[in-house]
């Protein structure tokens, strides 16, 4: 939280740019790896069954574990797409003023700061706000195992909850631009089993690149912290 508040409180050395962006959408990443931590569908179903049983035995503990897994999954996705040789991933903390605040809207009335996490990806060889290439917001809005969310599958695309989070994240990025802490970036909002992804510039807000986004599934180990149970 301290880092994010420091960025938002910074006074820009010059007024935020109002003309066309100095770089085009093509300079922002559009091709990504989709990490798959499961070797097979059978393994996924076995883990799901195990976790559902754990949830029934101890719902409070399960919620804590699942929240941790959501944040670790978001971080793992970034690590799969931005190698440490060229990029660094910063974790400023929860979404500022999440409750009550911008995230206290339709579908997310129950979300607290502890249910959110912000990630910042910067290029190591580029200083200043131009070095930020991606901002990610992860929101734990309910169980992805079907115990709490509306459709029982952890799906949030097109729901009021996702719309609320996207609007709040857009507002945060605009505040960072006004503070001189951000120029433009690719922006991701992760929630449940879904994520939305956009390019962002202060002139256009969130938008899809003309060529769209491309994703390639790749088998990776996202469970370095031992979050998933052995089956």
pLDDT of residue 25: 55
| pLDDT band, residue 21 (cuts 50/70/90) | very low
pLDDT of residue 1: 47
Convert the pLDDT of each residue in 161-216 to its tens digit.
Answer: 999 999 999 999 999 999 999 999 999 999 988 999 999 999 999 999 998 999 98
The residue with greater pLDDT, 51 or 166, is 166
pLDDT of residue 221: 62
Distance from chain centroid for Cα 39: 24
Q: How many helices (H) and strands (E) does the chain have?
A: 4, 8
| pLDDT band, residue 24 (cuts 50/70/90) | low
Hey, where are the domains in the chain?
A: 2-10+31-210
pLDDT of residue 205: 97
Convert the pLDDT of each residue in 65-103 to its tens digit.
Answer: 889 989 999 999 999 999 999 999 999 999 987 767 788
- Residue 182 corresponds to which tokens in the numbers above? 């951000």
> In 184-206, which positions are buried (b, 16+ CB within 10 angstroms) versus exposed (e)?
bbbbbbbbbebbbbbbbbbeeeb
């Amino acid at each position: 939280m301290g880092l994010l508040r420091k960025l938002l409180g910074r006074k820009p050395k010059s007024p935020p740019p109002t003309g066309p962006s100095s770089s085009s959408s093509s300079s922002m990443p559009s091709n990504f790896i989709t990490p798959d931590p499961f070797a097979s569908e059978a393994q996924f179903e076995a883990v799901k069954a195990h976790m559902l049983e754990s949830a029934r035995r101890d719902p409070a503990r399960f919620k804590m574990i699942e929240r941790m897994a959501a944040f670790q999954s978001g971080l793992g996705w970034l690590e799969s797409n931005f190698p440490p040789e060229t990029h660094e991933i910063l974790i400023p903390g929860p979404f500022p003023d999440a409750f009550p605040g911008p995230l206290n809207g339709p579908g997310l009335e129950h979300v607290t700061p502890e249910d959110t996490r912000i990630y910042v990806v910067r290029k190591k060889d580029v200083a200043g706000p131009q070095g930020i290439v991606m901002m990610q917001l992860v929101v734990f809005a309910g169980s992805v195992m079907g115990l709490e969310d509306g459709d029982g599958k952890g799906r949030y695309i097109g729901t009021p909850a996702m719309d609320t989070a996207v609007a709040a994240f857009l507002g945060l990025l605009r505040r960072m631009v006004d503070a001189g802490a951000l120029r433009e970036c690719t922006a991701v909002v992760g929630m449940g089993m879904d994520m939305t992804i956009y390019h962002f510039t202060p002139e256009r807000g969130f938008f899809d690149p003309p060529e769209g986004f491309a994703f390639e599934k790749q088998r990776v180990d996202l469970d370095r912290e031992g979050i998933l149970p052995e089956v």
